Amino acid sequence: MAKISVFGIGYVGVVAAACLARDGHSVIAVDVDPGKIKSINAGLSPIVENGLDELIADAVKQGRLEATSDVQYAVDNTDASFVAVGTPSAPDGSVGLVYVTDVCKNIGKALKNKDTWHSVVIRSTIVPGSCETACIPTLEEESGKKAGVDFGMGYYPEFLRESTAIEDYYDPGLIVFGAMDKPTADILTELNKDLPCDINVVDLRTAEMVKYCSNTWRAVKVTYANEIGNIAKACGLDGQKVMEILTSDNKAIVSKYFMRPGFAFGGSCLPKDVRALRHLAREKGIKAHLLEATLEANEAQIQRAEDMVTKSGAKKVGFVGVAFKPGTDDLRESPLATLAGRLIEKGIEVSIYDPYVAEAYATETPGAGRGNDVIPNLPERITTDLNAMLNDTGAVVVGNLYSETVEALTKSAKSRPIVDLTRLNKELVSDGTYEGICW
């Protein structure tokens, strides 16, 4: 079994750490946030994710998972370090590497004091060439050692979806990693050998590019489906029905998941990754027409929803869902949060029903409200009483679909404006007080 240190107890890092520990590996999670460290060591999850609480509790109980802020301790007591910190967009839209290079500096300093072989594996999403131009130079400068010769170097992207991360970890659609040296390739192969998926071992840049292709392709598919949905609705057609028929062709259409007309894409990956790849194309003198259009179209879909809500004339609006997708409390670049913030700026009173965000605040999860920079006083706007919210609002925005809300919302659609961005059920089409964004 391997000994792995995971730097960054965020979404990717904590899921990876818990799953590695579940598989019998010894894991040390590293972060600068004392709250996250305390949560892990107490056997608690620092984020809301299905099934994660049980994994962490069991791993800590079995002595296979611990958390610390001590970088030297983590490097000294493991064979490989996984870097899983955030890469938020820089002001110009390029990928933000400051957190990655900061961690590489700290790992490099620790490597300087370690005599035995150690592999550094980047899991953060970074554009092609970043390992070679940013991570490796930083590690070499701080350690005084050479990558691929004195220490191992790899890039191992993740393809986890929030709310289904654990299932995705054990049933991945894609495994790819790049490695400069055999020891790093061997350890990554060993970690993945029992998973039901082909293992693609490539160079660092190819692995970096595959990750961006995956995320930007998802973003493009969402935009394409929305555009078709908008056109279909303008023609008096049901956009979702059109796309359901199209995606029934499993031979030509790779995946149905993103080919569903609805609201804008958001979250911690797709928006920033499209921006980053667009920026890279500009640097290379390549005109990336579709990437430019994808971001413009995604923004237009948010504006479309805003116009629909404004048209209702409601002064009080209730939101069902504010996280970027159902099943998570993550608000990073959530288009629903953006929409709510814009309505609040217009003087509209906004209340929010979102069981996962509510749970994060109620349990005082360290990551509660993470990513929110657009909704003022968010905790005060959260309610767990759906019926009370429906009775107190003039219009309702259905952003995320939760099964327990369908009956009440369907009934409310007969008496008050409902702006449906996800689709309560397939029987409802725009009519009277009910309006679907693409149907």
* DSSP code per residue over 227-253: HHHHHHHHTT--HHHHHHHHHT-TTT-
The annotation status of 159 as a binding-site residue, yes or no, is: yes
Structure tokens, 345: 């700026």
Report the SS3 class of residue 22: helix
- At 353, phi and psi to the nearest 5? -110, 115
Catalytic residue check, 131:
no
Catalytic residue among 19, 131, 135, 269: 269
Which residue's entry shows tokens 């009956």?
407
* Domains in the chain, CATH or no CATH each: 3-203 (3.40.50.720), 297-436 (3.40.50.720)
Which pLDDT tens digits describe the chain residue by residue (439 residues)? 999 999 999 999 999 999 999 999 999 999 999 999 999 999 999 999 999 999 999 999 999 999 999 999 999 999 999 999 999 999 999 999 999 999 999 999 999 999 999 999 999 999 999 999 999 999 999 999 999 999 999 999 999 999 999 999 999 999 999 999 999 999 999 999 999 999 999 999 999 999 999 999 899 989 989 989 998 999 999 999 999 998 888 776 666 777 789 999 999 899 999 999 899 899 999 888 989 999 999 999 999 999 999 999 999 999 999 999 999 999 999 999 999 999 999 999 999 999 999 999 999 999 899 999 999 999 999 999 999 999 999 999 999 999 999 999 999 999 999 999 999 998 899 999 999 999 9
Residue 102 assigned as binding residue: no
List the one residue out of 211, 200, 212, 197 whose CA is nearest residue 176. Answer: 200
The number of angstroms, rounded, from the C-alpha of 415 to the middle of its chain's C-alpha atoms is 36
Is 44 annotated as belonging to a binding site?
no
Contact 417, 394 (CB under 8 A): yes
7 is in an annotated binding site: no
pTM for this one?
A: 0.85
CB 93 within 8 A of CB 276: yes
The tokens describing 148, both together, are 């691929």
